[in-house]
Amino acid sequence: MDAVGRSSVWTIDRENVITSVGGDWDAFAESNDAASLCGSSVVGRSLFDFISGEETQRIYRLLLRRVRAVDAPVIVPFRCDSPEMRRHMRLEIEPLSERAIEFRGVLVAAEPRPHLRLLARNAPRSKALLVSCSFCLHMRLPDGEWVEAEDAVVRLGLLTLERTPRLAHGICPACKAKLYGRRDDMGKPPATS
């Protein structure tokens, strides 16, 4: 899935239940050590079973409401990194008939990086919690600053730890501003692109 332009596709019905997956969905899941997320395991389940964090779920609900209300697509940039790869992607959310929605995650750019244990699904985890932005994957430091994962590892001294922190999902101020249009107006619907 690391070839630019490749995409994963999934659809949801009016109740936000995943009804189909396609494109490179299964190949992407397997290449990310997530075979448990192959199509046969996700079809028939709620989209929100796979979206972590209240704030992230709230944004997705607003995006879905927006797409259904204006009957027009929305495009959202996001990152979907693996321990060895930085992936810049584009999420295209498009309305279908009967309030169904199609999602298409398109790889825009990919670049290799040295293995980052913090992002490994099977890395031993401590009880500590580190918040990652669901869209740009920046990590929130204790002082509130949001930085790239590699910078967080260095600044938090995670290279010398046997166990890495558990990751939780939130949204950084920069992505909130992009998704909502204004940093201080959380009720405004996301902008369409």
Which residue would you say has higher pLDDT here, 86 or 158? 86
- Which carries the bigger pLDDT value, residue 24 or residue 43? 43
What pLDDT shows up at residue 185? 38
| Sheet order of strands, 125-133 included | 146-147, 139-140, 125-133, 164-170
Confidence of residue 163 (pLDDT cuts 50, 70, 90): confident
Are 75 and 167 in the same domain?
no
> Has residue 187 got a pLDDT over 60?
no
C-alpha to C-alpha distance for 129 and 132, rounded to whole angstroms: 10
pLDDT above 70 coverage of the chain, percent: 92
- Work out the mean pLDDT of the chain and round it to a whole number: 88
The answer to whether residues 29 and 84 belong to one domain is yes
Residue 4: the pLDDT is: 80
Q: Tens of pLDDT along 46-55?
A: 999 999 889 9
- 16 part of a folded domain: yes
Residue where one domain finishes, among candidates 85, 113, 141: 113
Domain assignment of residue 159, given as a range? 114-185
193 falls within a domain = no
Same domain, 59 and 100: yes
Count of domains for the chain: 2
- Indicate if 166 and 77 belong to the same structural domain: no
- 101 and 144, same structural domain? no
From the number of C-beta atoms within 10 Å of its C-beta (0-12, 13-18, 19+), residue 142 rates as exposed
Q: What does the pLDDT read at residue 38?
A: 84
Are 119 and 84 found together in one domain? no
What's the distance, Cα to Cα, between the start and end of the chain in Å? 24
Answer yes or no: do 10 and 75 share one domain. yes
The pLDDT value given to residue 152: 93
Same domain, 75 and 119: no
pLDDT at 108 over 70: yes
21 with 87, same domain: the answer is: yes
Instruction: From 24, 40, 127, select the one nearest 80 (Cα to Cα).
Output: 24
Residue 158 and residue 160: Cα distance in Å, rounded? 5
191, part of any domain = no
Domain boundary among 113, 142, 176: 113
CATH number reported for the structural domain that contains residue 95 in this entry:
3.30.450.20
pLDDT at 27 over 90: no
Are 113 and 85 in contact by the 8 Å Cβ rule? The answer is yes
**Mean pLDDT throughout 39-50?**
94
pLDDT tier, 2 (very low <50, low <70, confident <90, very high otherwise): low
Q: How many whole angstroms from its chain centre is CA 79? A: 6
